Amino acid sequence: MQNDIIHRSKDITILELLDRVLNKGVILTGDIVITVADIDLIYLGVKLMLSSVETMEQLKEGKTRIEK
């Protein structure tokens, strides 16, 4: 079963990937710490949400299932 997923994922184009991301939405998170002499000077937490406007409006209205 896992091999099927790997083979199917190779056939996905960038356009299909972008369509899936905009339709469902994706959240990226990350942390950056700048340290000098083992002293943390700056901490930066980043959260980025990427989706289409239509998807965000549906989520704001409380619809749990996003229709395509």
Q: Where are the domains of the chain?
A: 2-60
Check residue 36 and give its pLDDT. 92
Query: How far is the C-alpha of 66 from the C-alpha of 56, rounded, in Å?
Result: 10
Check residue 35 and give its pLDDT. 92
Query: How far is the C-alpha of 33 from the C-alpha of 24, rounded, in Å?
Result: 30
Q: What is the pLDDT along the chain (68 residues), one digit of tens a residue?
A: 555 555 555 677 888 888 888 888 888 899 999 999 989 899 999 998 888 888 888 878 876 555 54
Those residues whose C-beta lies under 8 Å from the C-beta of residue 48, and which sit 6 or more positions away, are 27, 28, 29
Check residue 42 and give its pLDDT. 93
- Please give the model's pTM, rounded to 2 decimal places: 0.47
Check residue 12 and give its pLDDT. 72
